[in-house]
Chains A and B, each alone.
Chain A
């Protein structure tokens, strides 16, 4: 079915289809799809992807019967179970959760940092059927854990979430994606950090082989705020992590880290993009991948330094271990600097495990497989040992052990 028919057929199910501005925006998107107006040259969102599979899809969505928000007052912590991309409303003096509004949609459609040639983002706008908005109120220090549950097989979730950290607030956000039901989740997170706020965002991804997860996020940081994102991808199904950060006021910081663990025929596409738009800002983009069997990955990293963004510090690194001759990891770092007083660097090292190190460890009596495992663990030791949340670090360790148990 073509995109237009697919949309019209399911329109009643899709958010904001009565809103004029939204309609206008969607008409343009449909035109792009219908008349194949994508720019395919240098389009990072097309790498390793069979686009047809994602455009020619069967739309299916079920409104969840029940979602939950549990407030654990003592520790300022909340547990949220988001079902099929939805979350019930909640309000207290520290946080407020509502469903996403058409004004949020329109606000997003005017954002120009996210690649307009990204068909996944466009599909998300077109078929939007879920999403929520979380506001962390001024000067509060909050922990939230979100379990993203999908109830049925073959659902197509198109979800937009807004996170707003008000001035002086601090949020520790752990998101879990562990789904086993052959569905596709296409999620767009729009994150706003006001002055002097902080967001530590952890994403743990561990889906089964036929589950697709596409996450795109956009964060913007005002003065003295810090956005940190750490993605741990253990999924056996396709995952795309694309993250855009804008440092719009002075002395703000974006730290985007990811580690992916791939095996079998799996694919993962990754991108980070940091735009420095003010002075004295810092950014970090570090992705590491471990690839076994016939798995494939891409990582595009970009630092863009505007001419007003003096005293920028921007750092990019990608590293990969290929455990098999048939695995491949394509990495492309890019730097565009229009200011003169900046410190920027990028590096990329991808290759098989160090044979000399293996020989050294084995020559002490360690088996080849044990030596390989210890070297894989050491490759990500720095990132894992810097996780300052005990529960998180236990979860990650367990998943790492499971991944290593399949390494031969």
Chain B
């Protein structure tokens, strides 16, 4: 199994957010999670990425034959986990080039691969940016600082395509994108997709799933997966909402 989440319960500030959650993802699969606001989707994404504010009260997560809880935040990333944030944080004064360059090289180091030099990295960054319709000017700016909502989301996908993760978690990457941007971003995802990597896509809209075909769709309510199936579930939600699961 590639990612195996077993009976995961998580608390924050004495409030239980995830409740005996189970989810399995195999290599090469695309999974989608839909669920009402506040059901715990971002919490799950953050717990996977290693955010430290949460109290894990029960459960196990296995990722690529590692106990995920044995890995710290950066080790998870270096092992191939990537989270495209719902709300990417603005970091004034930090430019994407040195930061992402150092990030990709720490991953290479862990994998015992050769590091990328400055020039090759600059080239790589430029070409990926142009694929995603991101201007050179934007690459010169500080990470996410003063970016529009849509620009931030594209920037997340740019980082994803550079780091080339084994498991990419996209937390509402489609929210805030105009229709053209949605096309560009989903093209980016589809280009990256191989039989060796997996995606976990959190979304509120069936539209996204028209562009990226999921193998499995899950409904999350009150911190648990209450129903799983194929794309037809997304259509059902679009039509009837979450009422009957609550």
Residues of A within 8 A of B (CB): 354, 356-357, 359-368, 370, 374-375, 377-379, 381-382
**Chain A residue, CB-CB nearest to B96:** A364
A360 touches B91 (CB 8 A): yes
Write 11 A-B pairs (CB below 8 A) sorted by A numbering: A354-B89, A354-B91, A359-B51, A360-B91, A362-B72, A362-B73, A363-B73, A365-B103, A366-B103, A370-B106, A381-B92
Using Cβ atoms and an 8 Å threshold, which residues of chain B touch A375? 91, 94
Q: How far is the CB of A393 from chain B (nearest CB, A)?
A: 16
B74 touches A368 (CB 8 A): yes
Residues B179-217 near A (CB distance < 8 A): none
Known: A374-B102, A375-B91. 20 other contacts (CB 8 A): A354-B89, A356-B89, A359-B51, A359-B52, A360-B88, A360-B89, A361-B99, A362-B72, A363-B76, A363-B83, A364-B99, A364-B103, A365-B103, A366-B74, A366-B106, A367-B106, A374-B99, A378-B92, A378-B142, A381-B92
Given contacts A366-B74, A366-B99, A368-B74, contact A361 B91 (CB under 8 A): yes
Using Cβ atoms and an 8 Å threshold, which residues of chain A touch B89? 354, 356-357, 359-360
A1 to B74, CA, bound (A): 59
Using Cβ atoms and an 8 Å threshold, which residues of chain B touch A364? 77, 82, 99-100, 103, 159, 163
Q: Which of A359, A381, A382 contacts B73 (CB 8 A)?
A: A359
| B51-77 near A? 1/0 per residue, CB < 8 Å | 110000000000000000000111011
Using Cβ atoms and an 8 Å threshold, which residues of chain A touch B106? 365-367, 370
B93 touches A381 (CB 8 A): yes
Using Cβ atoms and an 8 Å threshold, which residues of chain A touch B98? 374
Given contacts A370-B102, A374-B99, contact A363 B92 (CB under 8 A): no
| 5 closest cross-chain pairs (CB), A and B | A378-B93, A381-B93, A365-B77, A362-B73, A364-B103
A7 to B98, CA, bound (A): 57
Using Cβ atoms and an 8 Å threshold, which residues of chain B touch A367? 74, 106
Q: How far is the CB of B198 from chain A (nearest CB, A)?
A: 17
A356 to B144, CA, bound (A): 13
Flag whether B85 is at the interface (Cβ < 8 A): yes
Q: How far is the CB of A358 from chain B (nearest CB, A)?
A: 9
B91 touches A357 (CB 8 A): yes
**Chain B residue, CB-CB nearest to A369:** B74
A368 to B102, CA, bound (A): 12
A360 to B76, CA, bound (A): 13
Flag whether B107 is at the interface (Cβ < 8 A): yes
B107 touches A365 (CB 8 A): yes
A378 to B145, CA, bound (A): 12
Using Cβ atoms and an 8 Å threshold, which residues of chain A touch B88? 360
- Residue picked from A356, A377, A379, most chain B C-beta under 10 Å: A356
A363 touches B77 (CB 8 A): yes
- Residue picked from A354, A368, A374, most chain B C-beta under 10 Å: A374
Q: How far is the CB of A352 from chain B (nearest CB, A)?
A: 14
Flag whether B104 is at the interface (Cβ < 8 A): yes
Using Cβ atoms and an 8 Å threshold, which residues of chain A touch B94? 357, 361, 374-375, 378, 381
Q: How far is the CB of A366 from chain B (nearest CB, A)?
A: 5
Using Cβ atoms and an 8 Å threshold, which residues of chain B touch A379? 93
Residues B145-165 near A (CB distance < 8 A): 159, 163
Using Cβ atoms and an 8 Å threshold, which residues of chain A touch B50? 362-363
Q: Which of B85, B92, B93, B102 contacts A360 (CB 8 A)?
A: B85
A363 to B76, CA, bound (A): 8
**Chain A residue, CB-CB nearest to B46:** A359
A356 to B58, CA, bound (A): 25
